[in-house]
């Protein structure tokens, strides 16, 4: 699997990463099988995937606990990313959302981050995080200066508790504040070939500041694997309910896309998932994209890893772009 460097951190990771949101198994994704989740994390490494992303908010600690179990005796094998700034155990902050009677609060004050890093290290059974990412940014109704948050994260780095700093769900001003007050090595943002807004918003900034761009939901929560036809049951969970590509008339366009790309799949002897991941990895500045795909089954991670093995030629990349621009 191709390797990339994360920002200026000196950390090297696989170009395809595994995301452990669904492994949290809450109402966003429906129940997950922890034993299979652990096997999936191990299988990822067998296939060359080293980057592993989780967050306290995924299953309210459960995803981190499962990842912690999976990493026992294998910590050095993974580049471990987790997040901070979203709390369900305090009432202080800006209410990000309410779900299943739980209020998730945005709060990235240094004192609160100190509590969070301690809790994450405990759940993950480790004494360091490779990439520590601010999950959601402060809201004007509960302002926290990025200078304060970044100052605290730089201290954590000094103490050896984290190795690199990331930010997620930022805007350009917030990006610029992060780079002004410390070393930002990665941003994690929504991006897929069907949702390309991040290109204009961030690619120039990432290149200028050598910040790795890590797209989340690059498979549009499974739609871009080509596993759905018009009659496939979508399954439970709020996460998919938020994706417009599961709606019948949109899904019909993906079914057509899959047919159109069959000759390319034949050429590379690959699946639609492979094409989509290889296309995503080829965007932005050379070697500056880390494609973060969620998976909770061994078969899924095996398919996703294949995307890190193909290199499409420039004409194919341009044609695929034209094809998706025609529908999105």
Ligand X SMILES: NC(=O)c1ccc[n+]([C@@H]2O[C@H](COP(=O)([O-])OP(=O)(O)OC[C@H]3O[C@@H](n4cnc5c(N)ncnc54)[C@H](OP(=O)(O)O)[C@@H]3O)[C@@H](O)[C@H]2O)c1
**Residues designated as active site:** 58
Site stretch for ligand X (CB under 6 A), options 69-77, 149-157, 288-296, 309-317: 288-296
* d(C-alpha 145, C-alpha 223), whole Å: 38
Q: Does 37 bind ligand X (CB under 6 A)?
A: no
- Closest alpha carbon to 191 in 283, 82, 310: 283
Among 278, 304, 308, 312, binds ligand X (CB under 6 A): 304
Q: Does 85 bind ligand X (CB under 6 A)?
A: no
Q: How far is the CB of 169 from ligand X (least distance, A)?
A: 5
Cβ–Cβ < 8 Å for 282, 191 = no
Q: Measured from the CB atom, is 140 or 235 closer to ligand X?
A: 235
Cβ–Cβ < 8 Å for 272, 224 = yes
Q: How far is the CB of 158 from ligand X (least distance, A)?
A: 25
**Is residue 38 within a helix (H) or strand (E), and if so which, with residue range?**
helix 34-46
Cβ–Cβ < 8 Å for 44, 295 = yes
Site stretch for ligand X (CB under 6 A), options 88-96, 141-149, 203-211, 291-299: 291-299
Sites for ligand X among residues 174-213 (CB under 6 A): 188
Sites for ligand X among residues 220-249 (CB under 6 A): 220-222, 225, 227, 235
Give how far Cα 286 sits from Cα of 31, 123, 203, 274, 290, Å: 38, 35, 11, 19, 11
Q: How far is the CB of 219 from ligand X (least distance, A)?
A: 3
Q: Measured from the CB atom, is 131 or 160 closer to ligand X?
A: 131
Torsion of the alpha carbons at 60, 63, 69 and 74, rounded to the nearest 10: -130
Tokens at residue 88, please?
A: 């369900």
Sites for ligand X among residues 114-173 (CB under 6 A): 135, 168-169
* d(C-alpha 128, C-alpha 150), whole Å: 18
Q: Does 62 bind ligand X (CB under 6 A)?
A: no
Q: Does 298 bind ligand X (CB under 6 A)?
A: no
Q: How far is the CB of 51 from ligand X (least distance, A)?
A: 10
Site stretch for ligand X (CB under 6 A), options 100-108, 148-156, 261-269, 290-298: 290-298
* d(C-alpha 179, C-alpha 181), whole Å: 6
Q: Measured from the CB atom, is 88 or 159 closer to ligand X?
A: 88
Task: Compute the half-sphere exposure of residue 29: CA atoms within 13 Å on the CB side of its CA.
Answer: 21
Residue ranges binding ligand X (CB under 6 A): 19-22, 29, 53, 135, 168-169, 188, 216-222, 225, 227, 235, 273, 292-296, 300, 303-304
């Amino acid at each position: 699997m191709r390797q990339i460097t994360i920002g200026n951190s000196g950390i090297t990771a696989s170009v395809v990463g595994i995301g452990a949101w669904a492994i949290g198994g809450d109402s966003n994704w429906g129940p997950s099988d922890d034993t299979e989740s652990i096997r999936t994390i191990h299988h990822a490494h067998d296939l060359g995937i080293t980057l592993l992303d989780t967050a306290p908010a995924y299953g309210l600690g459960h995803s981190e606990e499962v990842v912690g179990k999976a990493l026992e005796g294998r910590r050095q094998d993974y580049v471990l990313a987790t997040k901070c700034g979203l709390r369900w155990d305090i009432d202080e902050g800006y209410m990000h959302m309410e779900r299943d009677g739980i209020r998730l609060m945005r709060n990235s004050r240094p004192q609160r981050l100190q509590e969070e890093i301690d809790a994450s290290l405990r759940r993950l059974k480790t004494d360091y995080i490779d990439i520590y990412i601010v999950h959601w940014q402060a809201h004007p109704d509960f302002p926290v200066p990025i200078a304060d948050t970044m100052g605290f994260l730089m201290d954590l780095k000094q103490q050896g508790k984290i190795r690199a700093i990331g930010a997620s769900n930022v805007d350009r001003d917030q990006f610029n504040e992060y780079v002004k007050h410390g070393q930002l090595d990665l941003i994690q943002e929504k991006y897929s070939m069907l949702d390309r807004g991040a290109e204009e918003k961030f690619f120039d900034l990432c290149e200028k500041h050598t910040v790795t761009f890590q797209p989340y939901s690059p498979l549009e929560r499974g739609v871009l694997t080509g596993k759905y036809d018009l009659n496939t049951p979508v399954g439970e969970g709020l996460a998919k309910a938020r994706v417009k590509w599961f709606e019948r008339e949109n899904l019909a366009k993906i079914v057509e896309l899959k047919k159109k790309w069959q000759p390319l799949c034949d050429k590379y002897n690959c699946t639609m998932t492979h094409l989509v991941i290889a296309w995503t990895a080829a965007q932005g500045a050379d070697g500056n994209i880390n494609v973060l795909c969620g998976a909770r089954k061994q078969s899924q991670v095996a398919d996703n890893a294949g995307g890190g093995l193909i290199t499409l030629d420039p004409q194919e990349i341009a044609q695929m772009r034209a094809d998706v621009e025609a529908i999105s």
